[in-house]
Structure 1
Amino acid sequence: MLMFLLLASFACTKRGKENMELRINMPEVTINYDPQKMEDMFSMMIALQLFRGLMRYDAAGGIRLDLAAQWEKSKDNLKYTFKLKDMTFSNGKPITSRHVQMTFARMFFLGSSIAADIDYIAGAKEFRATQDLSKLGVRPISEKEIEFTLSHPSALFLKHVAVADCSILPLDDFKANLDLTEAGAYSGPYKIKSLKVKNEYHLEKWRSDALDSDNPPKEVIFFRSSIDGVELARRKLTDSLDAQPVSKADTEMLGKSGWISSPTELTGETFVILNPKYIPSELRRYLYLKTNPKELVATLNEPRFKTAFGLVPIGLSGDLDESDVADLYREKTEYKGKKISFKIDYDPESEVNVKIAEWLRKIWSSDKVEVILNGLSKSEKLDRMFSKKAEATIGRKGVDYPDGFSVLTYFKGQYASNYFHVEDKEIDKAIGDSLQMTDSVKQIQAYKDIQKLILRHYTNIPLFFGSQASGLWSEKVKRVPSHPMGAHTMPLEVIEMRTQ
């Protein structure tokens, strides 16, 4: 009898431990969870758990203190001073102002994508040219106080500091390599437990967090797989299909097994990218003008999708409505160039992607235009898009923080994350000028004007906003807060797990 009770106790303990483990599958894409080198949402999702910054976003997009205990700004809005909490990295080393300085210096040293957003920090350009820290407006005042000096006021500074790209790293030298192994030091509430299993990133929670749910995941395993997500769910190998499209039939099937859904990726946009290397300007213009996103949304007949006329999500500062782009659609839609054939990349596993691809082929094809549908795995499609090798592709992107500027900065030239084939000094200047505006009305108009400049390159065709993602989580999960910017912006400690 005693042996039976012991075995039963062991079994319950094992099940309880397994129930506190969250497994999240990803496509077979290249993962880089260095916060300053990540390029995709899957890398960002991992990085956000491992590293945290002075400020943070909660699941709903609000800004909160994180590693900083408090902050204040000068009367002229040019200096921000942060006082750090008494916190450590996962290896026990105290987080100091020196680490903050080296983190921001490294952004400019590497030329990371966030550096394009925050180049209003005083001395950023001079530092990139000279690597002289004394020229950069990020200065430790004491071990626990750091001062930022801006070249001009910016209403976006705190929003920028709160993004995952600005997470504080354990660096004493901005040129040093970042250790991302089990031996690394992490500023977030999770650390790397093991990388021993191929294609797996095993995280464990090592500290509490202000946003902890009553029962946060104790361990999280991110794993790459070519197997369909729903099939993984059937086999109980994954606990999340949050970012994946799932059919109504499969959603009902999973619901019967206890899976729950939470609103996600409401700000995401689906669009078409046309590569000017393969598709000339005259044809790109013709394709843009032939594409009526209202007709597509009506064809898809999905209430979650809202017609996109611009690049900034509906509801954020600078979003475009139909009247804003009416002048673009008044032009003639005739193509007189030579006959051309091109491929459009799409994901055949996505019902919505298939419908979009077939609709585009139908409206674009003519005696002079041949559209070839090129079905690829999600990882292949992303690789071709990021490497700018796709002739045309159906893409999708969310926002990094809740402001229109977070979208526009991806169209700034000379930064690797600009995979939209836009290199325009006029656009670069307009983006820079908008950042200096303190009048919200003028800034909103600037955002609208910038989008129109971008659209006239005819390399990006907006289709619709709204989520193709299911927002589904397994029966292990009791509650997942709404995360309108997507799971890649959600700290996983806010998830509440069920207990056995």
Structure 2
Amino acid sequence: MKHSLIRFSAVVLTIAFVFALTGCGSGSNSFTWFVDSIPANLDPQVASASADVIACENLYSGLVRKDPSGKYEPALCERWEKSSDGLTYTFYLKDGLTYTAAKGNATDYAITAEDFVFAFRRLFRAETNSPYAVEFAALENSAAVLAGQMPESALGVTASGPLTLVFHLSSADDNFLEKLTLPGAMPCDEEFFNSTRGTYGLNASSTLSSGSFYIYNWTASGLFLRRAPSGSLIDSLRLVQNTNSAGQSAAELIANEKCSAAPDDTAAPTTLTSLSYSDTTWSLLFNCSSVFASTELRQALASAARGAAEVPDGGLYAAANGLVPDGLTVDGMNYRDTAGDVTPAAVDARALYLTARQTLTTSDFNKVSLMVPAGSGVTSAAEEINGVWQKEFSLFFSVEEVDEETFAKRLAEGDYTIALAPISAEGGSVYNMLNQFTAAGGGLTGYADSLYAPQLQASTQATGSSRCRLLGDCERQLLNDAVAVPLFAQQKRLLIAPGIQNLIFDPFGPVLDLTYTTKE
């Protein structure tokens, strides 16, 4: 067994995504996060559910972390070096680090470079089925190891000593440090892992902490993490479900001291600190399996629709800059800044319409309607767009309001001709958002193009700016072909109670990092 001299209380790194964040006051420095389900798997190489990821972010620490300003700083390492060609990273770990058991009990399990080697080898075991393997595709021989064509020892992660870890990349990855903050990059002690006999991370006794928090209790009621009190730092994190405050707004939950922070999708005035974001774009969708199989027809109507509708009142919407909402990242890079402008070039809408009508008859438009979800606040915008189409092309469509459940069902089944629909970036993933328009990803709109799906798939093999550009080309193609016409970005915000400071939050990972969070 590995031994160390002292126990280190380190910080955890975080990732991002949108769900309910709340803090509750069981103690002076406590913070409660309302989750959809109680964390069930704290194996960092496997964790993917939002509640599990948040727990892992605070329970484990890796080589580096981000501070509240977004700067990378050492966590379990003293320092690191990067080769001039960007293909080799060498990390020098702090001496004397050990894992912490449940209830804050000390252990003799030392944190060494071998633990990171083992963790990364687990990522590339087929049976692990880790969601993080794709993020580290730049590691030498990673694809061959994952496919079983090369042994684990060929993976580009080695320990040249107990405290020296070396990563060898086959191609430079500008966002490699960002990826080292993911749960999948957290250390895993091989001896302890084997001792759990397949239950690693599934209960308190089979979980060791390498971060600033440790497991205090884990029951059907919630996961409760603690760390040693230190000034005004949050020392208690509670991940529980909201079972008795249903129906209360985010502001009410905070005012009633049920939470320290909560997501809010209203525009109600507030004096609370708020962080704004958007993960949803309301877009016109044309069913390509209907009369709108004609690209020219779609382009004509799309061109006339852009700018035709006022942004709905109430502060819940803003003009969209593209299908993908602002603020999303790919490999740690701002997607919109890197992918560039995706606005389609100006076209002669009337000329395109006349071209399309040469192969269409008036009867082809008899069953066309513009479907919107009732109560969404976008019906007036749909009516404005419909009015422009009547004026420009003498096309008379009806605006069809349906209840939310029916809307979702018909959209999924392709039972519509035009819809004004919310398109969301699930998990903050640009890829997932764009994949909805492939047959494999759900076939939204029935779009069929021989180049779109292969190009989108190619983006999964790229990294950094190259991946952003490939995804941007896909988004640009959807808009140029007028498969989707982005109109409004739906605004959301995180409300934070007075006195809470230095909370690192990003809805798209998700990221909830309490390392630096204080409560005055």
TM-score with structure 2 length normalisation? 0.66
- Alignment match, 1:81: 90
Matched, 1:151 2:170: yes
The equivalent position to 2:100 in structure 1, one of 90, 95, 117, is: 90
Contact 2:58 2:514 in 1 (8 A): yes
| SS at 1:141 equivalent | strand
Aligned pairs for 1:325-474 (under 5 A) are 325-326=344-345, 332=352, 339=367, 354-356=376-378, 359=381, 363=385, 373-375=402-404, 394-397=422-425, 407-408=430-431, 424-429=453-458, 432-433=461-462, 435=464, 448-453=472-477, 455=479, 462-464=486-488, 467-469=491-493, 471-474=494-497
Contact 1:343 1:373 in 2 (8 A): yes
Contact 1:57 1:163 in 2 (8 A): no
Residue 187 of structure 1: CA displacement?
A: 2.4
Match of 1:45, as an amino acid?
I
Give RMSD over aligned pairs. 5.1
Give the whole-Å Cα distance in 2 for the aligned partners of 1:138 and 1:202: 33
Give the whole-Å Cα distance in 1 for the aligned partners of 2:510 and 2:471: 25
The equivalent position to 1:107 in structure 2, one of 113, 119, 123, is: 123
Matched, 1:23 2:25: no
Residue 97 of structure 1: CA displacement?
A: 2.2
Q: Flag structure 2 segments of 5+ consecutive residues without an equivalent.
A: 1-23, 102-106, 328-333, 388-394
Give the whole-Å Cα distance in 1 for the aligned partners of 2:167 and 2:463: 20
Residue 374 of structure 1: CA displacement?
A: 4.4
Residue 317 of structure 1: CA displacement?
A: 3.1
Aligned pairs for 1:114-193 (under 5 A) are 114-130=132-148, 132-171=151-190, 172=193, 176-183=198-205, 184-193=207-216
| SS at 2:116 equivalent | helix
- Alignment match, 1:289: 302
- Alignment match, 1:403: none
Higher fraction of strand:
2
Once the two structures are superposed, residues 337-391 of structure 1 have per-residue CA deviations (whole angstroms, 9 ceiling, x without a partner) of 7858998779x7xxxxx22477458858997888564436xxxx9xx9xxx8898
Give the whole-Å Cα distance in 2 for the aligned partners of 1:310 and 1:56: 31
| SS at 2:146 equivalent | helix
Give the whole-Å Cα distance in 1 for the aligned partners of 2:372 and 2:49: 21
Give the whole-Å Cα distance in 2 for the aligned partners of 1:127 and 1:456: 40
Distance 1:459 1:124, change over 3 A: farther
Contact 1:121 1:149 in 2 (8 A): yes
The equivalent position to 2:238 in structure 1, one of 207, 212, 220, is: 220
Contact 1:23 1:223 in 2 (8 A): no
Contact 1:59 1:482 in 2 (8 A): yes
Residue 472 of structure 1: CA displacement?
A: 1.7
Residue 64 of structure 1: CA displacement?
A: 2.5
Give the whole-Å Cα distance in 2 for the aligned partners of 1:23 and 1:187: 21
Match of 1:428, as an amino acid?
Q
- Alignment match, 2:12: none
Distance 1:487 1:243, change over 3 A: farther
Contact 2:285 2:483 in 1 (8 A): yes
Distance 1:118 1:289, change over 3 A: farther
Match of 1:117, as an amino acid?
E
Higher fraction of helix:
1
Give the whole-Å Cα distance in 1 for the aligned partners of 2:133 and 2:291: 31
Give the whole-Å Cα distance in 2 for the aligned partners of 1:463 and 1:165: 37
Identity of aligned residues (%): 15
Residue 483 of structure 1: CA displacement?
A: 4.4
- Alignment match, 1:5: none
Distance 1:130 1:375, change over 3 A: same
Residue 133 of structure 1: CA displacement?
A: 0.5
Distance 1:448 1:17, change over 3 A: closer
Q: Which deviates further from its counterpart, 298-307 or 99-108?
A: 298-307
Give the whole-Å Cα distance in 2 for the aligned partners of 1:279 and 1:178: 51
Distance 1:215 1:154, change over 3 A: closer
- Alignment match, 1:196: 219
Match of 1:89, as an amino acid?
Y
Match of 1:325, as an amino acid?
P
Give the whole-Å Cα distance in 2 for the aligned partners of 1:202 and 1:329: 59
- Alignment match, 1:6: none
Contact 1:434 1:447 in 2 (8 A): no
Matched, 1:270 2:265: no
TM-score with structure 1 length normalisation? 0.68
Q: Flag structure 1 segments of 5+ consecutive residues without an equivalent.
A: 1-14, 349-353, 401-405, 438-442
Q: Which is higher, the Rg of structure 1 or of structure 2? A: 2
Residue 454 of structure 1: CA displacement?
A: 5.7
Distance 1:358 1:104, change over 3 A: farther
| SS at 2:133 equivalent | helix
| SS at 1:162 equivalent | coil
Distance 1:16 1:125, change over 3 A: closer
- Alignment match, 1:9: none
Once the two structures are superposed, residues 410-440 of structure 1 have per-residue CA deviations (whole angstroms, 9 ceiling, x without a partner) of 7579x9x977979722233356456486xxx
